[in-house]
Chain A
Amino acid sequence: MSRPPRKRPFPRSKVCRFCADSSLRMDYKEPNILKVFITERGKIIPRRISGNCAKHQRQLTTAIKRARNIAILPFTVPRR
């Protein structure tokens, strides 16, 4: 007896969004792009969920960290 596969809580995208769309540029000055890749609490979404390729995930991480540094993105979003 095999159990039915558990449903994933996140809809995963299989392709790297930055590879698929070359016009999508990663920049620490663009919070609107970066916001897609952080959780509500401000954490960076892992590669296995966002579907990014290794190269772009690396670039994304630095971009998000830079954006945090100049207060464009939050380090944490405190729970109310």
Chain B
Amino acid sequence: MRRYECVVILEPELPDDDIKNFTEKYSQLIKTSSGEVIKVEDWGIKRLAYLVKKKDKGRYILFDFVGVPSLISEMERQLKIAEEVMKYLSVKLEDSVELEAFKAAREVPPAPAPEAAALPETTGTEEPEAPAQEAAVEAEQQPAEAEEPAQAVAPEEGKEGQA
């Protein structure tokens, strides 16, 4: 089992219902091929750095999941066919992951409640946009919490360096 991350750029005009269907469809695909979804994030409509299919905006969706290598080829095959997908990128995060460990961690509710409340805004703002995955976002625990504050601090550091 490997941990992957897949960023998909969808057409910006796509209605919210279709986005929900889309995320559900691929979450389902991951689950049926004995994988596990860790989180699904909707970054909203963002400006693209260059034109893709003659459009300068796109809706970013991030899938973070555990699965077998054949899942990626199947997922990319479907993403290639889907017309609403403008671009996608899959990245391998970890080489060998115990699926059971993830499942076990998910079943245990996040123990340090105050820590969860003190989560930076970055995760908080994304939750309402992906209500179906809210449980997943909450269940995804310590590792993500350790990552998020670091990322929240980092951009400012970069700006200082520039100035």
Contacts and interface: CB of A to CB of B under 8 A. Distances in A.
Interface of A: 13, 17, 21, 23-25, 27-30, 32-33, 35-36, 66, 68-75
A25 B151 contact: yes
Contact of A70 (B9, B150, B161): B9
Given A25-B147, A68-B49, A75-B50, A17 B161 contact: yes
A39 to B, nearest CB: 12
B87 A33 contact: no
A28 B147 CA distance: 14
A74 B9 contact: no
Contact of B9 (A27, A32, A36, A71): A71
**Chain A facing B: main interface SS:** loop
Interface string B139-163: 0000000010011011101110110
Interface string B1-18: 000000101000000000
Contact of B89 (A23, A32, A70, A75): A70
14 contacts: A17-B161, A23-B150, A23-B153, A23-B154, A24-B157, A25-B147, A30-B154, A32-B158, A32-B159, A33-B155, A69-B87, A71-B87, A72-B49, A74-B49
B158 A70 contact: no
Lowest 8 CB-CB distances: which A-B pairs, in order? A32-B155, A71-B48, A74-B49, A70-B89, A36-B158, A33-B158, A23-B150, A24-B154
Nearest to A76: B50
B155 A66 contact: no
A33 B156 CA distance: 9
A71 B58 contact: yes
B82 interface: no
Given A23-B150, A30-B151, A70-B88, 15 more contacts: A21-B157, A23-B153, A25-B150, A32-B154, A32-B159, A35-B158, A36-B162, A68-B49, A70-B9, A70-B87, A71-B48, A71-B58, A72-B49, A74-B50, A75-B49
